[in-house]
Each structure stands twice: as C-alpha cells, then as structure tokens.
Structure 1
C-alpha cells in the first residue's frame, strides 16, 4: 500500500468514527435533587431513551435545586436542555410574576412542552386507630407536615382552607420520621406529596394499618388544584379509589432544540412508558389524559408525534 493510500484510508476511517459520534444526540435532563423520586425518574428516563433509540439519544441526568432553578437556566442553555417543572411556573416565568418578578427574560417565551411526567400527588395518611377517614375527622389529631417541602406548604394551606388550623396539633418533626412516629403512636397522621405510589406511604401501609384520606369533589375544587385518583390497591389495605389533588409536572425544552430530537424524545418516552411502569409503578400514573394539564405551547417536534399517535392536545397552546 502506498503512502497516499494509507493517508486516504486513515482519513476515511476518521470520517467514519466522526460520523458515528455525530449520530449520537446528547441531551441534558435537569429535574430534582439527587436521592429524590424525581431524580430517580430522570435516571429511569435516561435508561429508557438509550434503550429505545439504540443509543442514538444519550441523556445525562443533572441534579437540580428545584423547579425555579430549572426554568431560570433556560436563559443560558442550548438546544440540548430538557427540564421538568409544573406548568404554572412556566406561565409565571413568561408573565414575570411570583418567583420571576423582576427576572423576566425573552428566553422564557421560547419554552416548549414535550410530555407529562408523574404528578406531585397529595397524600393525607392517618393511622386506622385514629379513626380519621376524611379531612373533617382530622380535628383533634396530631399531624406531621414536615418542613420546607411542597407537601408541607400545601398541607398547611389545606388545613387553613378547611378550617382546621386551630383544631389540629402540628408535630415538630421531620417528614423522614413520619412512618416510625405513626407506628409508635406519636402522631395520628402525616402529609406527604410525591408521585404515587409514594415510598413513605408504601412503608407506612406495610407496617401498620392506615387510611389514605379521600377528598370530595367540592373539597378538590376549593384547593384550586387538579383532581387525581389513586386507584384502589395502590397501597396495602386500600380497598377503594382515593380522590386527592395533584400538581402536574411536565418535561420541557426550548425552541433551540431541533424538531427531530424533540420528536424522538417524545415518541420514545410514550412508547417505553409501559416498560418503565413495570420497573417503577409511578410511571403507570401517566396517561394521555394528563396532556390537558399542559397549558403552555408544545414543541413542534412533540406536536408531530401526538398527531401521528392520535393523542389529543386540544388543551395545549399549540
């Protein structure tokens, strides 16, 4: 082989390697703190994307300090950025209100939705011994709300909404101690928010008889949150559906992402969701009906998939 031939072969080989590298699409997925259920969801989603695209899409999961940070980083991120947040926060960012007052940016107007992920679901859990089977029964009980979390803030709001603030004793303890405290009779119940089945509720129901309180449709309406049903049998001893509230959570990107990548991400997500549910039950709570919670604009690549799949997107601002 001549020197020229060797050079040509080397160049062709280098081009082949470069082409293979270019074929892999890299995406950064920013969700929540490591150790949280939502971070774990991100890991599962990354694995599903790799398997579902034969490695053509590589997702790197990045720890986050919260949904507001996720939205704020849109200003400095590129077309490979995917993040999760409640739809209401995207609306606030685009309107420059609440946490985004005085922090507006044209970049917020470029946020586009991809697909819903498991919602933050409110759980009011009481010991069977307490006799509490509805919110009104909480009067005279000791309840652990925890501190600083969405569930704690939301639980406190519900106690106020339903006139229970001065009728319930709030335990001064961390939510991580809830299951042990309930089992030992130190508290009558606790409030937690997370995708169902929530690990701490599963643990509580497995260790002592509990009730997961159901709300009336009127009570749900009073909270201003989305209605959600936890199917019977989700937790040990739960013989009936539980009606509660939820905070929808959605995966977003921006207009910087190309249509094909957005299409492949959305398509792979829905086509592998059932497999993910076989490993982690919380994915089973995601259905096409959750699309109605997306009030912001969808990415054109995602729209293409939903139209092909026949999934209604009427509730979204296309």
Structure 2
C-alpha cells in the first residue's frame, strides 16, 4: 500500500512538473531557405525562445513564397504564423488576382501581428558610370536578373519611367551582379531586399557605388510605399536614399488564442534591439510601419500595442 501511494504521489508530481513546463509550439511559414527572410525567421524564432524562456517554441518551415503562405492559412492550425505583403491578404480576402476562384472564408480570419523588414528596391550603379539619376540609365548596361521581385519591379520601372528598350540589359544572373559591377561588365543592377542588403554591402566594399534615389513623383507613380534608407547605411553613402518598398508583415489567424498572440508580439518588440545589434535589417522596423497593415490586427497584439501607447487606426481593431 505504501509503495502504491508513493507511485501515485510520484506520478502526480511528474504531471505537475510537466504541466509547469508546458511549451506552446508555433509553426512559422517563411520563405526559401536561401533567402534573407528565412534567416530572419530563424532569428525571430531564437528571439521568441529567449524572451519567453522557451515557453514558446517557434519552428521555421521553408516556403516557396507568400502566396503559398496565405493559401495554407486556410487549413493550418491555431498556432500558425506566416509572412506576406499586406496586399496579398487583401487579394485573398477579395478573391482577386492569383486568388481568383480560390476564395475561402478562412481568409477573412487572417490577423496581423507585427511588421518585419520591408522588401526595399535598390538601384545600384558604379560611381565611374557617371549615373546620378534614374533617367541617366539610358544607354547603360544594367542587370535586372530574373525570377525575383526586384527583377519584375525593375522592368516595371523602366517601362513606367520611359526607359523600356533604351537600356542595355545584361544577360547575367543576379548572383553575379557584384563581380560583374566590380569588373566593369555592367554599369549597375537592380536588387530587392531588406536593407542593408548583403549584396549592396558587398558591392560597396572596395568599389565606389551609388544607390539611386527616386523622386516623390516616381514613387507615387510606382504605387509602392516610400522608404528612406538613412545616410551611412552603406559605405560612402553620405545622404539619405529615397526609394520604394513592399511592406512585409507577420500574420496569424483568429484561431490563435489571445495570450499566445500577445506573448509573441511582446517577445518580438522586446527582442528587436538585440536582433538589430546582430542583424542590422531589424533596425529599420518601427511601430510606424503598423500603418502599412490593411485590415485587422489580432486582439492579443492589439492588447500589447495599447499597453505600449501605440496609436492604432480603427480598421486595425
């Protein structure tokens, strides 16, 4: 009998101990493993674990892109977070473009948590090219690359700003842009990444480059979000750079409970400074970027922002 009671007592003790150390598992659908956004996801995963003393464990999953991330939100569980530009969420909820005839009521349950670094357009040119403005790309050899947001966006800008057919497009992969620029095989290249962009940092190392600014009129025409790359971001950059960006946001759904969403959001902002010290691209993220979110923010995240005195728009709540 004593042995039986001892076993029962031990079992109860173990159960209480395990309950006390219960972990919440979160799935983070990110991007291709080769992208900077996958690296960001890994950094965020580590930050959440650190901030919550391992109470929240975030597992990063590779993704083929933002459209896949949004589509999977319709059938993934409560503890699913993913990244995508806000515009894609709007398209999904309205069954437009790539989501036409793929409507799902679950899309209406998507809720934002916090912004992450934006996709930022860089038009990089060598100083010796003599290029000082977008119009001066005419007649120059420029690398667009292919299959990337930057390539698509760059081609759109060339057409939009009257340079289609007036630029010598280099048939070189974007991965070879930096050595091609340094070896004078090209005059410049288009690239999109969160800033500071690794390939732009590499290009600026040992070579004098310029990252071109766009005028306010050009940015308005592009229908993208204006973003300022502060002076000093890249070697030799003495002034701010005005360019375009595509905001990116971490989302979940109403299936996630309020406490988990609150803890995730709090952990992100608590750890942002430390993440910025390790990876500078986090430094460009601020609560001002919440204005880029179209639609509702998760109630748990709203609770955190209210506690921090952040002003939210009516559509966010």
What's the TM-score, normalizing by structure 2?
0.98
Map of 1:142-291 to 2, 5 A cutoff?
A: 142-291=141-290
Instruction: Tell me the secondary structure at the aligned position of residue 125 of structure 1.
Output: strand
Deviation readout 1:164-206 (Å, 9 max, x if unpaired): 0121011111100000000011100000000000000000011
Instruction: Tell me the secondary structure at the aligned position of residue 201 of structure 1.
Output: helix
Map of 1:75-114 to 2, 5 A cutoff?
A: 75-114=74-113
Give the number of equivalent residue pairs.
317
Residue in 2 aligned with 1:292? 291
Deviation readout 1:85-135 (Å, 9 max, x if unpaired): 000000000000011011110110000000000000000000101111110
The question of whether the paired residues in 2 share the 8 Å contact of 1:120 and 1:247 is answered with yes
Deviation readout 1:125-152 (Å, 9 max, x if unpaired): 0010111111011111111011110000
> How much does 1:296 deviate?
1.6
Residue in 2 aligned with 1:18? 18
C-alpha separation in 1, matches of 2:182 and 2:202:
10
C-alpha separation in 2, matches of 1:256 and 1:133:
50
Residue in 2 aligned with 1:3? 3
Instruction: Tell me the secondary structure at the aligned position of residue 58 of structure 1.
Output: strand
- Point out where structure 1 has 5 or more consecutive residues left out of the alignment: none
Instruction: Tell me the secondary structure at the aligned position of residue 165 of structure 1.
Output: coil
The question of whether the paired residues in 2 share the 8 Å contact of 1:293 and 1:315 is answered with no
C-alpha separation in 2, matches of 1:243 and 1:70:
30
Q: CA RMSD in A?
A: 1.1
Deviation readout 1:236-276 (Å, 9 max, x if unpaired): 11000000000000000000000000000011111110110
Tell me which moved more, 241-250 or 135-144.
Answer: 135-144
C-alpha separation in 1, matches of 2:310 and 2:56:
23
Residue in 2 aligned with 1:117? 116
C-alpha separation in 1, matches of 2:240 and 2:288:
18
Are 2:308 and 1:309 equivalent residues in the alignment? yes
What's the TM-score, normalizing by structure 1?
0.98
C-alpha separation in 2, matches of 1:142 and 1:282:
29
Residue in 1 aligned with 2:37? 38
